[in-house]
Chains A and B, each alone.
Chain A
Amino acid sequence: MSTPPSPPDAVHSEEFLRLLMRRQLKLSVACAAAFLVGLIGLPLLNYYAPALMATRVAGFTLSWLLLGVLCFPLVWTISYFFIRRSIWLEEDEVAQVKKGRLDS
C-alpha cells in the first residue's frame, strides 16, 4: 500500500480545527439567531399585541401577511448571506493553509 502524501502539520493541529469549527459555528449560530427572532417573536407578538397584529394591510391581517407571505423572502435573505459568507470562509481557510505550507 502506498503511503499517503504527508500533509503540512498545520492542518492537523488542534488550533486549526478549533479555529475552523468556531468560525463556522459562529456564522451558523448568528444566522440561526436572526431567523429564530422571527420564528419565536411572531407568536409572542400575536400573544401580547393581538390588536396590532390584526391590523388590515391590503386585506390581509398583519400577522397573516408576515407569516404567509413575507417570511419566505426573509429566509432567502438569511440563506443567501450565509452561503456567500461560508464560501468566503472556506476559501480563506484554504488560502491560510497554503500560505502556512509555503512558510514552513
Chain B
Amino acid sequence: MSPLPVLAFLEGVDPWIFAFSFVTVVVTVWMGFRSAKTSKTASDFFVAGRSVSVGWNASAISGEYLSAASFMGVAGMVMSSGYDALWYPVCYACGYLFLLLFIAGPLRRFGAYTIPDFAEGRFDSPLFRKIAVCFVLFIGFFYTMPQMKGAGTTLAYIFPGMPYWGGVVLVGAVITLNVALGGMKGITLVQAFQYWMKMFAISLPIFVVMSVYGFYGAHLKANDGTLQLTGTPAAITQNVERKALVEKAPADSPWISPFGPLTTKAAKAAGLSAEQAKPYSLLYTYSLIIALVCGTAGLPHILVRFYTNPDGVAAKRTTMWVMILIGIFYVFPPVFGVIGRNLMPELYAATGAKGTDKIVLELPRVVGGVWGSILSGITCAGAFAAFMSTFSGLLVSMTGALAHDVYGRMLRPNATPEQRMRMFKISAVVIGGVAIGLGSQVEQLQINFMVGQAFAIAAASYFPLLFMSVWWRGMTMKGAATGMLGGGLAALACTTIINLSDLKLVDLAAFWVANPLIRILCEQPAIWTVPLAIGLMVVVSKATAASVPADIRMKMLVLHAPEQLGLKQEYIQEHQAGAGH
C-alpha cells in the first residue's frame, strides 16, 4: 500500500512521537484562542491588565525563559564538552538573582509598559526611546533565530522527510497566529502551562531511564578514565553499562574536569600545553559567567513581564519563584548529557542536528519498545513547548515595541484603542514573518552559539543601561546612549567577526593561532564590553552633567520609595501638567 504523495513527508514517522507533539501544538493553539475571548482592552494585550497572580506569572516567565537552548542545547553541550558546559544552566538561573537584587523592584515601581518607556521616562528623551526600541527589536531577532533553528531541526527529527525550512515556516506561522489573536493574556496562560509541560517532559523520562540504567552519580562515577579505547564492546564499569566511546569524543579526564574542551579550544589551537592553557581557560570561564549573568538581567522579553505584577512586592516574589522553578529544571538537562555519554556515544560522531544536540529527544529510546517511543514523544513535546513559548514571548515583546512605541508613540500618538489593537495584530504578523525569514537562513549555525551571542549583546547594552539608570542619579541621556551603543556594538562586532571566521567567509585561522587571547576576548567579549559600557556611561555623563533631568530627585524617589507612599500618581500628575496634554 503506497501512501498518498501529499503525505510523503509522513513516511518513517514514529506515531507516538508525532501524537505527543501534535497534542502539544493543538493544546497551545486552543488555549490561545480560548483566552482571546477574554482579552478585550489594549491594556490586556500589552501587559495583561497588570493583574496576573504571582504563581501564574512565575510559571509564565519560567516557561518563556526555558528555550530550545535550555531544553535541548544544555544537555547536548554537557555531553560534548563536559563540566565547563555546566556554567550555562547555572548562570541562566543565577542571572535572575541579579535581576531581583538590582533591577526588578525599581523598574516595576517606575511603572511603564516597556523598556523604551523606561528609557524615555528616566531621561525625558524621545530620541532615546527610538534608540531603545531599535535595540529591543535587534536583540529580539538575534534570539528568535536559534528558536527557529530548534523548531526546524526538531520537526526534521519527527518528520524525516520534511525540509528544514518547512518546519520553520509551520511552527512560526502557528505561533504568530496565536500571538496575533490572543495577545499577552493568552500568552501568560499558555506559557505557564508550557513551563509545567517542559518540567514534566524533562523529568519523567530521565527518571525512567535512571531507574533502568543507574542514577546520575553512578553514571558520573563510571567516567573515571578506565574506558578510553575505541572499538571495544560495551562494558560494565562501576555497575553502570558503558558503550565504547567513538574517536571524536573527549576522553574522561578533560570531560569531567574543569577547563576542558570548551574553554581551552583557542589555547589548544595555538599549540599551548595543558598547563599553559589554564590561565586562558580561567579567563574564558569568567567572561562566560559575566555574559550569561548580566545577559539574563538584560533580556528585553523577560524584563517586560515584570510589569504584569500588581505591585513591587509581587514582582520580587515572582522572581523568587522563577528562580526555584528554573533551578529545579536546570538540574535535569545535564543528567541527559551524562547518561547520554555512557549509553549513546555514537552521537559524538555526527554533527549539527544529527549530533549531541538531539540527545534529549533520542535518549529515552534506550528503554526500548513502545515505552521508549512514548518517552521520546514526551521529550519531543517538551521541545515543542520550549521553542514555541520562547518564540511567542519574544514575539509579544517585539510586537509591543513596534505597536506600542513605533506606532502608538511615534507615528500616531492619537490613535484610538481599536486602531492600536488592530496595529498589535498587524505588527505580530510582520515581526513573525521577518523572524521566519531569518530563521530559515541559519540552518548552518549552532543553537547555543546564537543564544550566547544574544546574551553577550544584551549584557553589554541593556544591563549597564538599567543598572546605572536605577542606581546612579548622575546619569545623562548622552551617557546612557553612548554606553549602551558602545558596549552593544562592540559585542556585536566581536560576535560577527567570530561568525564570519567560523563560517570560513573570512580567513583568520592563522591570526587566531598566533593570538589565542584575542580569540577568547572576541568569542566571549563580556569581560571587557560590560566594563566598557559602564565606563563610557560614567565618563560621558560626567562630561554632560548639565543635562541631568531637572526632576531627577523625584524620579529617583519613584524608583526607590515604597509604592504605598503613592509617589507615582503624584509624579504622573506633575508630569502631565508640565507637558501640557
Q: Are A56 and B221 in contact (CB under 8 A)?
A: yes
Q: Are A21 and B83 in contact (CB under 8 A)?
A: no
CA distance A60 to B564 in the complex (A): 49
Q: How large is the interface on A (under 10, 10 to 19, 20 to 34, 35 or more residues)?
A: 35 or more
The answer, yes or no, to whether B185 is at the interface (CB within 8 Å) is: no
The interface residues of chain B lying within 8 Å CB-to-CB of A54 are 257
Q: Are A11 and B258 in contact (CB under 8 A)?
A: no
Known interface pairs A50-B257, A59-B220, A75-B94. Does A17 touch B319 (Cβ–Cβ under 8 Å)?
A: no
CA distance A24 to B259 in the complex (A): 37
Q: Are B258 and A46 in contact (CB under 8 A)?
A: yes
Chain A contact residues, majority secondary structure: helix
Q: Mark B303-331, 1 if CB is under 8 A from A, else 0.
A: 00000000011001101100110011011
Q: Are B334 and A68 in contact (CB under 8 A)?
A: yes
Known interface pairs A11-B567, A46-B258. Does A35 touch B97 (Cβ–Cβ under 8 Å)?
A: yes
We find that the number of chain B residues with CB closer than 8 angstroms to chain A is 62
CA distance A3 to B564 in the complex (A): 20
The answer, yes or no, to whether B101 is at the interface (CB within 8 Å) is: yes
Q: Are A61 and B577 in contact (CB under 8 A)?
A: no
**Nearest chain A CB to B251's CB is how many angstroms away?**
15
Q: Are A67 and B86 in contact (CB under 8 A)?
A: yes
Q: Are B471 and A79 in contact (CB under 8 A)?
A: no
Most buried by B among A24, A53, A76, A79: A79
The interface residues of chain A lying within 8 Å CB-to-CB of B200 are none
Closest A residue to B101 by beta carbon equals A28
Q: Mark A60-103, 1 if CB is under 8 A from B, else 0.
A: 11011001110110011011101100110011011001000000
The interface residues of chain A lying within 8 Å CB-to-CB of B328 are 72
**Nearest chain B CB to A93's CB is how many angstroms away?**
5
The interface residues of chain B lying within 8 Å CB-to-CB of A5 are 570
Q: Which one, B83, B93, B316, contacts A75 given CB within 8 A?
A: B93
Q: Are A79 and B319 in contact (CB under 8 A)?
A: yes
**Nearest chain B CB to A94's CB is how many angstroms away?**
5
Q: Mark B540-581, 1 if CB is under 8 A from A, else 0.
A: 000000000000011011001110111101100110010000
B residues 238-293 near A (Cβ < 8 Å) are: 238, 256-259, 278, 282, 285-286, 289, 293
Q: Which one, B90, B100, B564, contacts A82 given CB within 8 A?
A: B100
Query: Which chain B residues have a beta carbon within 8 Å of chain A's beta carbons?
Result: 83, 86-87, 89-90, 93-94, 96-98, 100-102, 105, 215-221, 238, 256-259, 278, 282, 285-286, 289, 293, 312-313, 316-317, 319-320, 323-324, 327-328, 330-331, 334, 471, 553-554, 556-557, 560-562, 564-567, 569-570, 573-574, 577
What are 13 A-B contacts with C-beta separation under 8 Å? A1-B573, A11-B567, A60-B221, A61-B256, A63-B257, A63-B258, A64-B256, A67-B87, A72-B93, A75-B323, A79-B96, A83-B320, A90-B313
Query: Which chain A residues have a beta carbon within 8 Å of chain B's beta carbons?
Result: 1, 4-5, 7, 11-12, 14, 16-17, 20-21, 24-25, 28, 31-32, 35, 39-40, 43, 46-47, 50, 53-54, 56, 58-61, 63-64, 67-69, 71-72, 75-76, 78-80, 82-83, 86-87, 90-91, 93-94, 97
Besides A25-B471, A47-B282, A61-B257, 20 more A-B contacts (Cβ < 8 Å) are A17-B556, A20-B557, A32-B97, A32-B102, A35-B97, A39-B289, A40-B286, A43-B289, A50-B257, A50-B258, A59-B215, A59-B218, A59-B220, A64-B86, A75-B323, A75-B327, A76-B323, A79-B96, A82-B101, A83-B317
